[in-house]
Structure 1
Amino acid sequence: MSGFKTTLLRHTGVAVVLAAGVAMLPLQAQAQKAPQSPVAPESLYGAGATPNIAAPDSTAVCDRDGPCITPATDADIVYELTSPVGDAAIKQRMRWQVAALKQRLDPENTSVYMVTSWPEHTLSVVDLSRKRFSVMPAPSQGLTPPGHIAMTGTYARLGSSIVAGERCTVWRTKDTDGHASDVCYTPDGLLLQVAQGQQITVRALSVSRATQPDTVFTIPAGLKQEAPATP
């Protein structure tokens, strides 16, 4: 694992998936503290459970009680990721379909992309150049439902910002290593920026709320399935 990927994993305040040698930006920040909600993620999206996203929790008001950290709308966002130690920045496209709770991540300059399905708890890595794909368990089994404030972690409001033409609220939280991170979320749950200290490590460059078709998240026909790569 390169220094850039290791630093992202430790310092951005978001979960980083490493597959096929590529560092991936996640959907939401991963916090360290105990749940804020009495409803545990597993009770909502346990093995074999069907997600229920029809009605947001009426007591969970985004930007008042805490951030909503899962998009409540389809989204297409291009991010720039920068390492705090000065490595070169990379770009990555994230697409999200709220109805199916699926996410696709496409890093620049590679034929590899990843599709995460939270209802199925799977992460599929697709390599178009090799015409191969693999399926493994998703790195995080819990997902805060769209329209609900973060179900785990502690968040302290710092203020607001404008990123990629979108207004977002800045919250201070901690990553899984206990490092403080400042994350900026829109009211409808889009992550726009992550900062560690004085360094912006994740920043949205463009944001679209266009409807994402099923085909974006479908594994192309004709690819051969293979076992997931091991570290």
Structure 2
Amino acid sequence: MLYNFRALCSSFYKKKSYTGSILIGTTFFVALSAYAQEKHPLFMPKRDVTVVYAVQPENSSLAQKRKIYFSGNGTLFRIDGPNNIGFTLIDSAKQTATVVSNKSRVYTVIPSKSGKGGLFLDESLHFRKKGTDRILGILCHHWSVQGTKGHSDVCVTDEGILLRQEGMDIDGIDGKTEALSVQFDALSPSTFQVPVGYQQVRLPQQKGESPTLVSPNANAQPLSPIQAKKSENGNKVDASQNPFITPQRDVDVVYAIAGPMPGLPPFHQRMRWSVEQWKQRIDSQGIDTYMITDYRTQRLTVLNPQLKKKTELVAPGASIQGAGKRAEGDYVKVGEATVAGQFCNEWEVADTEGNINDVCYTNDGVMLRVVRNNIPLVVALKVVYAHQDAGLYKIPSDLKMLAPAHP
């Protein structure tokens, strides 16, 4: 059936009733046509292609841009949401739709209906070939398409790439969709994968239920509002009194991380730091992968020994200081606290998105807590100062390199 793409673009990733929820688009209908090309155009592209569309739904004066990646195997495509909010992966072979939220770093998998069709067209429609045209310099064939609720005209290339659609879709919504750019570059398999480190969430099945992590820690409890003991002054300190924000000793810390959306319990993350190696290793609850960051070479490696794969990225954290070096810039001390049995000073710090957080560091640079608006986002549960074996940070030599997925 003709996919209601315009309705998707006017409601892509609408929020559910709970704040910060994973964002869901409409269910998709995908499959590769088995019918002869002369009866109708191909419903899915025959090779890898990336298309940016201008989509103007009914009653909208502005066209919206949508980028869609099509895999040449005829079973996979990906629709990116606006402003990097997330994307949806459709796998007709598995009959699944995977909806990914970049901001929350979570995803959910829902069933997708399948018929012998594609994103825009399917075999339930009646087609009549009319002629040819060129759009973006690419030859396409005009087809008159009749559905149960209306008529549209489409222009599709011999390789199954829709370049223009105008008229009424199967749900009776009028509008226009036209390609703004077409790229035939080969697509990495990671384009159609969930980015490394994202957590799977199961959406509520019944009214009143909360979303749940697929691999929750049964012992994890919701993080409660908390506030450090305020110091007498919230004044900026002298630069010589700025905190260490990088551990100055080998340390092993278990953190509770606030759930990626309201209603979810926190999950646990283990961070181990080696001063000699100047490396960090992070293992997260419920995730097969772990991360090793080498701050001397500025490389972050995500490893999955079970699948024998690894991905390398440029390490974040320009603020990572060398041994013995205090943080640079203006720091305001706002409180003191004891977390996981360790004393720490609380500092007012703005993150990369401009949010103001209170971050509690020990005198030797171990982060123990991050609080925003009196709500803890990260809390240390256990801190052990001990030598960290170099083998913990060794990357196995038998892992195959995998290109990073697009965020």
TM-score of the alignment, normalized to the shorter chain, above 0.5: yes
Percent identity between matched residues is 35
Distance 2:319 2:343 in 1: 27
Cα shift at 1:173:
1.5
Q: Which secondary structure state, in structure 1, belongs to the residue aligned with residue 297 of structure 2?
A: coil
Cα shift at 1:178:
1.8
Does the C-alpha gap of structure 1 residues 22 and 75 become closer, same or farther in structure 2, counting only changes over 3 Å?
Answer: farther
2:322 aligns to what? 145
Distance 1:155 1:131 in 2: 43
Look up the equivalent residue of 1:66 and give its one-letter code: N
1:91 aligns to what? 268
2:198 aligns to what? 22
Does residue 67 of structure 1 match 2:67? no
Alignment of 1:164-179 (within 5 A): 164-179=340-355
Deviation digits for residues 150-204 of structure 1 (CA, Å, limit 9, x no counterpart): 124x321112100001000111121122221000000000000000001000000
* Unaligned ranges ≥5, structure 2: 1-85, 87-99, 106-193, 200-235
Does the C-alpha gap of structure 1 residues 216 and 85 become closer, same or farther in structure 2, counting only changes over 3 Å?
Answer: same
Look up the equivalent residue of 2:277 and give its one-letter code: A
Matched-pair contact (CA < 8 Å) for 2:254–2:380: yes
Alignment of 1:99-110 (within 5 A): 99-110=276-287
Alignment of 1:121-160 (within 5 A): 121-152=298-329, 154-160=330-336
Does the C-alpha gap of structure 1 residues 149 and 81 become closer, same or farther in structure 2, counting only changes over 3 Å?
Answer: same
Look up the equivalent residue of 2:304 and give its one-letter code: D
Cα shift at 1:100:
1.9
Distance 1:136 1:85 in 2: 26
Distance 1:66 1:7 in 2: 31
Does the C-alpha gap of structure 1 residues 127 and 85 become closer, same or farther in structure 2, counting only changes over 3 Å?
Answer: closer
Q: Which secondary structure state, in structure 1, belongs to the residue aligned with residue 391 of structure 2?
A: helix
Cα shift at 1:129:
2.4
Matched-pair contact (CA < 8 Å) for 1:68–1:146: no
Cα shift at 1:7:
5.0
Matched-pair contact (CA < 8 Å) for 1:84–1:201: no
Cα shift at 1:117:
0.5
Distance 2:383 2:356 in 1: 26
Q: Which secondary structure state, in structure 1, belongs to the residue aligned with residue 103 of structure 2?
A: helix
My pick for the range that moved more, 176-185 or 81-90, is: 81-90
Does the C-alpha gap of structure 1 residues 173 and 141 become closer, same or farther in structure 2, counting only changes over 3 Å?
Answer: closer
TM-score by length of 1: 0.72
1:113 aligns to what? 290
Distance 1:107 1:173 in 2: 25
Cα shift at 1:223:
1.8
Cα shift at 1:134:
1.6
Deviation digits for residues 45-97 of structure 1 (CA, Å, limit 9, x no counterpart): xxxxxxxxxxxxxx965xxx221100000111000011485233111000111
Look up the equivalent residue of 1:206 and give its one-letter code: K
Query: 1:182 aligned to 358, 362, 383, which one?
Result: 358
Distance 1:137 1:160 in 2: 34
- Does 1 or 2 have the higher relative contact order (CA < 8 Å, sep 6+)? 1
2:103 aligns to what? 6
Matched-pair contact (CA < 8 Å) for 2:242–2:328: no
Does the C-alpha gap of structure 1 residues 151 and 19 become closer, same or farther in structure 2, counting only changes over 3 Å?
Answer: farther
Provide the aligned length of Structure 1 versus Structure 2: 183
Does the C-alpha gap of structure 1 residues 85 and 131 become closer, same or farther in structure 2, counting only changes over 3 Å?
Answer: closer
Distance 1:19 1:116 in 2: 17
Deviation digits for residues 112-140 of structure 1 (CA, Å, limit 9, x no counterpart): 00111111110101012211112121123
TM-score by length of 2: 0.42
Deviation digits for residues 23-54 of structure 1 (CA, Å, limit 9, x no counterpart): 7xxxxxxxxxxxx9xxxxxxxxxxxxxxxxxx
Alignment of 1:26-41 (within 5 A): none
2:371 aligns to what? 195
* Unaligned ranges ≥5, structure 1: 9-17, 24-35, 37-58
Distance 1:156 1:142 in 2: 17
